Structure 1
Amino acid sequence: MAAFLHEGGLKLRQKVRAVVVNDHGEFLLVRPHGYREGEWTLAGGGVEDGETVHQAMRREIAEELGLSLKEDLERLPVGNRFIYSAEHKAKKALDHDGQDAAMFVVRLPHDSQLALQAEEIADARWFSASDALAAFPVAKQREVFEACLNAIAA
C-alpha cells in the first residue's frame, strides 16, 4: 500500500529518487518502459506504507538495479514536489493530488554489475553530468538534477 503525505489540504504520494554516481563521476539514468528513446530519468519509485524513505530507496535500488546497498544512504537537501492538474488527475482517475520525492545520492564503483528489473526498466546507461542534464525530457527534472549536483558538490 502506498504512503502519502497530507499537507496543506493536499494528499501527496511519497516517492524516492536516486542520483547514482560512480567513482568516474558518471551518472546512471534509467529508461522505464513507456519512455521514448532518448528520454531518461532517475532510478526510484514509491514509498510503501510503513517504510521510511531510506528503506524505500534501498528497496527500489535492489528491485530496479539489482544492487544491495551496504553503505549509509545520503539524503540530499533537495526535493521534487509537483501537483497534478485537475485534468491529469481526472484522466488518470487518481486519488491523490501530486507527488513529493525525497532525493538521495548513491555512490557506486564504476564496475558495478547491474541486473535491471525487466518489468519496469527498459535500459540504463552511464552519462556525464552535462549529457545527463540533456537526457531528461522535462525542464523540472533538469532543475532538480542540477540542484542535486550542486548539493553533492557542496
Structure 2
Amino acid sequence: MANTVHVAAAIIYNNDKIFVVQRAEGSMTGRWEFPGGKVEEGETAEQACRREIKEELGIDLQTMWFMDTVTYDYEDFTLSMDCFVAPLPKGQTPTLNVHICSDSKWLGRADLMSVDWLPADITLAQNLGQYWSDLFMIQDEF
C-alpha cells in the first residue's frame, strides 16, 4: 500500500478570481496547483494551511472555511488534500517566497481549465467552476 501524504491547500479568492501557483521543482514541474503544503505532526489541516500560505506567499489568512478533501493515488503515494476557501485579506498581496513555485496567476471561472493542473487538482478545479457562484458570492457579504 502506498504511503499517504496529508496536505492542506488554500483556494484564495479575490475580485472574482482565484490564486494558483506553478510548480518549479519535482516530477510535476510546470504543472499548476493551489498553494499549500504538508500537514506537520501536531497541527490541524487548517493550521497547516495558514502556516504554509504565510511561508509561501506572505499572507495571513483570516477567514477561511473547509470545502473538501481530495484523495488522489499517484504512482508512489496517495495524496489526501484538505482544501479551504479563503478570501484574500484586505491590503495583502501574494508574493512567491519559496523556490517551490516558479509562477503564479489569478484565474477567473472561464479560465479554470486553461492551465495544466496537477492530477490531484483537476477535479477540484472542475468543481470550483461548477459551484463558483455558491462558493465565492459569500465574500461580497464581508
Which runs of 5 or more structure 2 residues have no equivalent in the other structure? Answer: 136-142
Does structure 1 residue 144 correspond to structure 2 residue 124?
Answer: yes
Counting only pairs closer than 5 Å after superposition, residues 52-67 of structure 1 correspond to structure 2 as 52-67=44-59
Could you say which residue in structure 2 is the equivalent of 1:100?
80
Letter in 2 for 1:100: S
Could you list the runs of 4 or more consecutive aligned residues of structure 1 that deviate by over 4 angstroms after TM superposition? none
TM-score (normalised: structure 2): 0.78
Deviation of 1:73 (Å): 1.9
Does structure 1 residue 26 correspond to structure 2 residue 17?
Answer: yes
Which runs of 5 or more structure 1 residues have no equivalent in the other structure? Answer: 1-8, 90-96
Return the alpha-carbon distance in structure 1 between the equivalents of residues 59 and 117 of structure 2. 26
Could you say which residue in structure 2 is the equivalent of 1:115?
95
Query: Would you say the 8 A contact 1:29–1:132 is kept in 2?
Result: no
Could you say which residue in structure 1 is the equivalent of 2:138?
none
Query: Would you say the 8 A contact 1:80–1:100 is kept in 2?
Result: yes
1:47 to 35, 39, 45: 39
1:83 to 70, 73, 85: 73
Higher mean displacement: 126-135 or 54-63: 126-135
Deviation of 1:47 (Å): 0.3
Query: Would you say the 8 A contact 2:109–2:132 is kept in 1?
Result: no
Query: Would you say the 8 A contact 1:31–1:123 is kept in 2?
Result: yes
Structure showing greater radius of gyration is 1
Query: Would you say the 8 A contact 2:24–2:101 is kept in 1?
Result: yes
Return the alpha-carbon distance in structure 1 between the equivalents of residues 74 and 119 of structure 2. 16
Does structure 1 residue 132 correspond to structure 2 residue 112?
Answer: yes
Deviation of 1:72 (Å): 3.2
